Amino acid sequence: MSDRFGTIFGFLGGTIIAVESGYKVFPHPKPEKIYHRLSDAKWFLALRWCDNLSTPAGIINNTGEISFFNQIVLEMGEEKFIPQQHRLEIFARCLPLQPNQTITYELIPNRILSIQALEIDPRYGKVALVREN
């Protein structure tokens, strides 16, 4: 099988290229890596997006769980980043948004979060990319 290029599109600061055998992501620490599903390629870029931010950031899923967070959140703690009682409300605020649309959420006075709706895998619906401003 060859790796002829097909569709190319940007996603969260990266590029996904459809090849005959799957999807390649750039930049990637292993440029030869091929993802067999588009959702896996998108998930890699979403994690990289969180990791590259210099502010607390994470991904909230439909159950209100922070399914991924960056090193800053690891050091400060999930509960301090987004207390459990706010997580489902934050996710609910992302539901009416179009993919990639962003809104703000005031967690406490002077603590503003940006919430971005994102479709990674249509089987599971949207996730909320959340970062502190």
Cα separation of 95 and 91, whole Å? 7
What pLDDT does residue 1 have?
A: 43
Q: Which residues contact 7 (CB under 8 A, 6 or more apart)?
A: 17, 18
Cα separation of 9 and 3, whole Å? 17
Long-range residue pairs from 74-77, CB within 8 A, at least 24 positions apart, any chain: none
- The alpha-helical segments, DSSP class H, found in 1-133 are 38-52, 71-76, 78-81, 84-94
Beta strands 14-19 and 5-11, pairing class: antiparallel
What pLDDT does residue 99 have?
A: 80
- C-alpha torsion sign, points 16, 123, 96, 106: negative
pLDDT score of 2 more than 80: no
pLDDT score of 108 more than 90: no
Q: Which residues contact 77 (CB under 8 A, 6 or more apart)?
A: none
What pLDDT does residue 100 have?
A: 79
pLDDT one-digit tens code per residue, 50-91:
999 999 999 999 999 999 999 999 999 999 999 999 999 999
Q: Taking residues 37-51, what's their average pLDDT?
A: 95
Q: What would the two tokens of residue 91 be?
A: 């996710």
pLDDT score of 4 more than 90: no
Q: Which residue has the higher pLDDT, 78 or 1?
A: 78
What pLDDT does residue 53 have?
A: 96
pLDDT band at 125 (very low <50, low <70, confident <90, very high): confident
Cα separation of 53 and 83, whole Å? 20
pLDDT score of 121 more than 60: yes
